[in-house]
Amino acid sequence: MDNAVILAGGQGKRMKADIPKPMFKVLGEPMLEWVIKACEGAQLSEMCVVTGYKAEIIDEYLNGRYKTVLQSERLGTGHAVMQAKEFLKANAEGNTLVLCGDAPLIDSETILNALELHKKENNSVTVITACIDQPAGYGRIIRNDKGVSAIVEEKDATNEQRLIREVNSGTYWFRTADLLEYLEELTTDNVQGEYYLTDTVAIALGKGRNVNAYTSPNPDVVLGANDRKGLLALNTAARMMIIDKHLENGVEFTCTDGVVIGRDVKIGEGTEILPGTHLTGNTVIGSGCSIGPNCIIEDCVIEDEVKLNYVQAFKSQIDKGVKIGPWVHIRPGSHIKSGVKIGDFVEIKNSTIGEGTAVAHLTYVGDSDVGKKVNFGCGTVTVNYDGIIKSRCVIGDNCFIGCNTNLIAPVKLGKAVYTAAGTTITKDVPDYALAIDRGTVQIKEGYSLRKLKKRLEKA
Ligand code: UD1
Ligand code: CA
């Protein structure tokens, strides 16, 4: 069976942080995860991750999802693959994909295209390459009239070779049995004194075996990050790659400033994404929506024709035609049903808001089940926490909640209940009733004049 070895032993000194380089994040996910997902997308389920620097961080992150082997000394990419020998021997009859954990933009399609070429040409080694404008730092692909003849590392290259723009992505397909053979023959005879995996190309050719390159039309697949600037460049490339995909699917962007979209997010046709909007996790957005400016949406399901303006929403569902914003926080476990309008400075937490309900301003609804066509006056608070436990409020259909009502949970309002402004509700209210809790207003005429007079007398 075909399998994959991911090299993730490196430290990334130039990042100036104490974690393995493949754990640095691109669009919120470790680079290692991007590489793993590319393999999974290419139907590779047998994977072995070579760890080294701070291996425990990767072990903890993977949490047993895939096998890891430890490279206790960093003696080069060839040496890293040697650590996976047992894994390779157990699957020796197929092909092995070797990838770098610090080059996250490799994708499943490129992997599969390269495998197709690898099999069709009966290659022993197929290296994935791309032509880039700034090849510094990458291994250069040396070609002759028969095809690829070697990979030369930047540090070992002649000035002339350094001009070559076709570079090694660090991802290759090997016939597994051949790879095991080549690993035995690697030496440290180079400027860096390391076991270079790239030397396998020359070794294979020396044995008269087929070697070729699959040149990716997308130069980003080779991009790696060696420092913070490189990581930012990767984030930018990944960000635009995802936005491009949505543009092709009919999503509208008038300006992409500050727009960050996670790669698992789905967006329907005709939806407009406005500046400053972050869409992450497993968020699914329908069509004809307007999201932004300045929204943060994580793990939400949003139906068609929803408008969100300055909204933060997490792990919630928002149904068709809902309008929310500006400055609204929708916290996990909420379900906002169709036709609801939520206005400024409102927080909804772990609550269901029924069809057509309006929560126009300055209101907190927590742990509540709200019916249809309810109107919340300004400043309503569901008092859901007594310092020890959280309780629920139930509000029936067609209720009219007066401004500054406090609902002390657990409490239930029946159907079409009115609460007078400023009322604190401490017990259930039956259908069609008015609940009013208000002291009598006393008018003390001339009060401020008397007060002023007293003060003047003292002075
Ligand atoms: C390597 C390639 C180069 C290619 C580039 C693509 C070699 C000799 N060179 O160079 O041709 O253009 O990748 O990014 O292979 N690693 C280990 N253990 C080690 C050394 C490295 O696990 O002892 C891991 C690193 O964590 C990294 C990957 O292998 O994920 C590549 O290593 P790195 O040192 O970054 O190689 P490059 O110099 O970039
Ligand atoms: Ca690298």
Q: What is the CATH number of the domain that holds 279?
A: 2.160.10.10
Note whether residue 449 is domain-resident. no
List, for residues 302-330, the tens digit of each pLDDT value: 999 999 999 999 999 999 999 999 999 99
* Residues 140 and 167: beta-carbon distance below 8 Å: yes
Q: What is the CATH number of the domain that holds 32?
A: 3.90.550.10
Judgement on whether residues 215 and 282 belong to the same structural domain of the protein: no
Q: Is 80 in the pocket of ligand 1 (CB under 6 A)?
A: yes
What are the two backbone dihedrals, phi and then psi, of residue 91, each rounded to the nearest 5 degrees?
A: -130, 40
Average pLDDT in the 278-296 region? 98
The answer to whether residues 215 and 237 belong to one domain is no
Same domain, 185 and 98: yes
Domain match, 67 and 156 both: yes
Band of pLDDT at residue 402, cut at 50, 70 and 90: very high
What gap in Å lies between CA 189 and CA 381, rounded to an integer? Answer: 73
Would 441 be classed as within a structural domain? no
Residue 353's nearest CA partner among 339, 344, 362, 345 is 339
Tell me: do 174 and 282 sit in the same domain.
no
Cα–Cα distance, 290 to 113 (Å, whole number): 37
Q: Are residues 207 and 253 in the same domain?
A: no
Is ligand 1 within 6 A of the CB of residue 21? yes
Confidence of residue 226 (pLDDT cuts 50, 70, 90): confident
**202 and 237 fall within a common domain:** no
276 & 128 share domain = no
Q: Domain limits at 86? A: 3-222
pLDDT of residue 321: 98
109 Cα–ligand 1 center, Å:
22
Domain boundary among 192, 222, 252: 222
Number of domains in the chain: 2
Catalytic residues: 361
Same domain (yes/no): 13, 155: yes
**In which residue are the tokens 């404008």 written?**
133
Do the domain assignments include residue 373? yes
Verify that 49 and 197 share a domain, yes or no. yes
Which one of 222, 253, 270 terminates a domain?
222
Pocket lining: 78 vs ligand 1, CB cutoff 6 Å: no
- What pLDDT does 345 receive? 98
Whose Cα sits closest to atom 28 in ligand 1?
A: 100
Q: What is the pLDDT of residues 185-197, one digit of tens each?
A: 999 999 999 999 9
Q: Percent of the chain beyond pLDDT 70?
A: 100
**Residue 162: both structure tokens together:** 């350094």
Q: Please tell me the pTM assigned to this model.
A: 0.88
